[in-house]
Amino acid sequence: MLNFKRLLATTSVLATLGATSALAETELRMMWYNDGSESEVMQSIIDRFEAKNPDISVVIDVVPYKSIMESLPIQLAAGAGPDLARVTDLGGLSKYYMDLTPHISDSAYWEASFGPFLDWLAPDSDRISGFMTQLTVTGPYVNKTFFEQAGVAMPGDGATWDEWAAAANDVADKLDIPIPMAWDRSGHRVSGPAIAMGAKMFNADGEPALVDDGLKEMAQRLYDWHQDGTMTKELWGSVSGSSYLGANEDFANGQVVMYMSGSWQIGQFSGTIGDAFDWWAVPAPCGAAACTGMPGGAALVAMKDTKHPEEVGKLMDFLAQEENLAEFYGKNLFIPGHLKLATGGVDFATDDARAKHALSTFAGAVPKISPTAFDLQGYPNNRIMFNALISRLNEAIVGELTLEQAYVRMEEDVAKQLAAKAVD
């Protein structure tokens, strides 16, 4: 009898344990990269989702950005990708995205909230595949403290790239700063100023046409700035191909007067630089055609190979709710990729005047972005153009090619990659 009781007790304990573990029967995996520490904010929102949905658990796999760019496409092609991922190659991976429409409660809300960005994620259809975790705008930061110390007036709104380069050189000379100007080594970063100089990026038929007089104007300047010391070859010249390199650490360490990057650095600078010096976002400098940066951003997308489309839909519906996104954008100091929140619906979690100024500068730049820049961002094969631009321009800067040879190679590289894609 005693043995029977023991058996019963053991069975009850095991049954309870089994029932508890069976509660979270669906596990969703989310591949994520961080610019700062946004996975922590996302985790806190997901914790609330899991509390409301005890049968679903969500695992955030934080990986380096390089893995998102290089490993994720392979995993997706092999049908072994995650259920969800945070991506920046928005259109390039669109063939792997799932259509969330049947699995979300109110597709009208999604269209009203994320309208134009949904097209970036689904260039050839009306699918709803995800939402923007941040909208980004490229543009420069300057070390305002250096300008004040050097007694050099900062060029104002509407100043050209040439005027900014001259001012940055002036400051660097007076204070002995090693790098007057630094740009992220990225084709996306170069494209905004190139469009400002008049680059069209596409021909009359809408086909990519990377090299034109506008692009040459910008490329020539970048080449010259690397030769005359305005920019250091250490950043662009020190690696090959299309590898990304940022100058954020050099800027934060007070080694750079002017740094061309984008709005996603705000949270990081607020944390790393703090009040060590006045880091100041300035409006996109002008060229002959416009004063524009490039739009862009990151999106959380659902993948079509998921085995749990219902649960993924449920999660995405939850995450896309206005209050959750307001929290996410606000805590991370991200420009909202939600149309209603973009019009002042986010309470940014910072008292840092520099961060607030940067946020308003970049948010204010959105209406001034050139339509060409939007077209380029929405073009699914834009990375082909960005990579050709950065890698060949780099080879010219270090003296392996002349600029004319680089232009020819850029066009060949784009044609080669598009041809390879057309074989499918």
Residues that bind other proteins (CB under 8 A): 69-70, 73-74, 77-78, 89, 92, 178, 232-234, 237-243, 381, 383-384, 387, 394-395, 397-401, 405, 409, 412, 417-418, 420-421, 423-424
CB of 223 to other proteins, least distance (A): 13
Please, what's the b/e burial string for 261-290 (b: 16 or more CB within 10 A of its CB; e: otherwise)?
A: bbbbbbbbbbebbeeebbbbbbbbbbbebb
CB of 172 to other proteins, least distance (A): 15
CB of 122 to other proteins, least distance (A): 17
CB of 410 to other proteins, least distance (A): 13
Q: 281 near 203, Cβ under 8 Å?
A: no
CB of 286 to other proteins, least distance (A): 30
Q: 325 near 341, Cβ under 8 Å?
A: yes
For other proteins, the closer CB: 88 or 324: 88
Six-digit token pair at 375? 């077209």
CB of 376 to other proteins, least distance (A): 14
Beta partners for residue 302, in sequence order: 84
For other proteins, the closer CB: 298 or 341: 298
CA distances from 161 to 14, 74, 221, 288 (A): 70, 39, 9, 10
CA distances from 67 to 45, 61, 64, 90, 230 (A): 24, 11, 5, 15, 32
For other proteins, the closer CB: 20 or 240: 240
105-318-100 Cα angle (round to 5):
50
Question: CA 116 to CA 212: how far, in whole Å?
Answer: 28
For other proteins, the closer CB: 89 or 170: 89
Q: Which is nearest to 296 in space by CA: 142, 161, 189?
A: 189
Six-digit token pair at 80? 């072994």
CB of 259 to other proteins, least distance (A): 16
Question: What three-state secondary structure class fits 301?
Answer: strand
327-328-333 Cα angle (round to 5):
100
For other proteins, the closer CB: 37 or 381: 381
CB of 73 to other proteins, least distance (A): 6
Q: Which is nearest to 164 in space by CA: 151, 152, 155?
A: 155
